Amino acid sequence: MKQSQTIREYLSAIPPENTATRVAFFLAGFLMAIWAAMVPFVKVSLGLDEAHLGMVLLCVGLGALVVMPLCGGIVAKRGAKFLLNKAFFIVPFLLYGVVFSSNTLLTAALLFVFGMVFGAIDVSMNVHAVEVDRRSEKRLIAGFHALYSLGSVVGALAMATLLNVGIGLLYAAGVWLLICIIIWGFSVNSLLPDAGKAQGVSQSFVWPRGFVLWLGLICFLLFMVEGAVLDWGGVFLVEEKSAAIENAGFAFAAFSTAMTLMRLIGDKLIAYAGPRNCVRYGCLIGALMLTGCVLLPHVWLVVVLFFALGLGLANVIPIAFASTADQNKMPMSLALAAVTTLGYAGLLTGPALIGFIAKVTSLSTALLMLAAFLVIVSFSSNIFRQK
């Protein structure tokens, strides 16, 4: 009885905004994993080749690029809660509409709006996380990103589980999307109403420059790799490694599992090795793993390499986001929005580029191009602090 009271006291001492932020990151990862599991089914049901699938996926990126540059200004004026309160209720309905769609144009339109709404989630969620971390006596940023990765793992495995026991995509996606809506309904009121607000901000968007621009370009390349694993990892396993379509989600699941585990120890690792070394050697490991995915033939060995890829890249994005606090050129919400916009432009438009390259050459060649990008990021690691 004494132990249960201690646990209850510990849980009650956690600020509610911390819990709400963790839920937001978890659900964001969960929802993106559901979409990742849906991509091969969308390709088959619409009869798309790699180039046309890339065009459809590009709609997600275009939707995000329309709205994300404006989110920093909206958050600075209204707060992160203003966007998060609405967006998490809208995304599940958009994804479920994609499940029902049998028309390519309708699917593209739904994904365009999905990109807009999820782009708003990404910007406002990260601004809220930075503010919660700033107010806390303990560092929380790496843990929040770990929850995003954990949500991706749970979402991928949840979808794979239902699909492998014979439940169709319509019911599998419907069950998990409904659960997401219910969970968010219990969490949204605990968000900070003033997170991200800034006095005297009149601009909706400020173009990044100098250090912030470098961070954004690095994030663009890093998120391009993550977007490739999200949208093309399953297709790569099925078409290049002859995996069963029901197991397509295991590439992203392995990648996200590794990111979750590494981010759980991320704060201690970064303190020990330094941000610069984490970026340099993490990206080199990632480049080597992507090359191995192309060269090695066995499906499950490739899944292991996707796991190792996640280990290498896990803490690079949190380091880049946290580095926006090392500048005084722009208000935090605008700087983070600019970096996030460039970063998620890579996440959401990168898969379209992969599709075009795969059409002209092969999907394996496209992954080798991503490995080269990681080498470029590794050589750019000197912009980060040594300690």
Nearest alpha carbon to residue 252 among 310, 325, 317: 310
DSSP structural state of residue 196: T
Q: Average pLDDT for residues 89-109, to the nearest whole number?
A: 91
Task: Give residue 80's Cα distance to chain centre.
Answer: 18
Which structure tokens are listed for 216? Answer: 């954004």
Which structure tokens are listed for 82? Answer: 């203003």
Indicate whether 1 belongs to any domain.
no
What is the number of domains present in the chain? 1
Over 90: is that where the pLDDT of 90 sits?
A: yes
Q: Cite the DSSP H helix spans in the chain.
A: 2-12, 16-46, 50-78, 80-100, 104-135, 141-164, 169-187, 211-239, 250-264, 266-273, 275-295, 299-313, 316-322, 332-360, 363-379
pLDDT score at 354: 86
Query: pLDDT band at 230, cuts 50/70/90?
Result: confident
Indicate whether 346 belongs to any domain.
yes
Nearest alpha carbon to residue 21 among 117, 110, 126, 123: 126
Indicate whether 6 belongs to any domain.
no
Indicate whether 109 belongs to any domain.
yes
CB 349 within 8 A of CB 115: no
* Out of 54-58, 66-70, 123-127, 324-328, least confident range: 324-328
Over 50: is that where the pLDDT of 1 sits?
A: no
- pLDDT > 70: percent of the chain: 94
**Mean pLDDT, the chain, as a whole number?**
85
Q: Average pLDDT for residues 100-119, to the nearest whole number?
A: 91
Q: Which residue has the higher pLDDT, 69 or 348?
A: 69
pLDDT score at 348: 67
CB 191 within 8 A of CB 315: no
- pLDDT > 90: percent of the chain: 28
Indicate whether 220 belongs to any domain.
yes
Q: What is the pLDDT of residues 177-226, one digit of tens each?
A: 999 999 999 999 999 988 877 766 666 666 777 788 888 888 898 888 88
Indicate whether 270 belongs to any domain.
yes
DSSP 8-55: HHHHHTS-HHHHHHHHHHHHHHHHHHHHHHHHHHHHHHHT--HHHHHH
Indicate whether 313 belongs to any domain.
yes
Q: Which residue has the higher pLDDT, 214 or 5?
A: 214
Would you state the torsion angle of the CA atoms of residues 195, 198, 204, 210, taken in this order, to the nearest 10 degrees? -100
Q: What is the pLDDT of residues 39-85, one digit of tens each?
A: 888 888 888 887 888 888 888 878 888 888 888 888 888 888 999 99
Query: pLDDT band at 22, cuts 50/70/90?
Result: very high
Rounded to whole angstroms, what are the CA distances from 7 to 14, 16, 168? 11, 16, 40
Nearest alpha carbon to residue 134 among 325, 307, 312: 325
Over 70: is that where the pLDDT of 7 sits?
A: no
Indicate whether 7 belongs to any domain.
no
CB 246 within 8 A of CB 295: no
Q: Which domain holds residue 69?
A: 13-383
* Out of 150-159, 250-259, 340-349, least confident range: 340-349
CB 276 within 8 A of CB 314: no
CATH code (residue 60) = 1.20.1250.20
pLDDT score at 305: 92
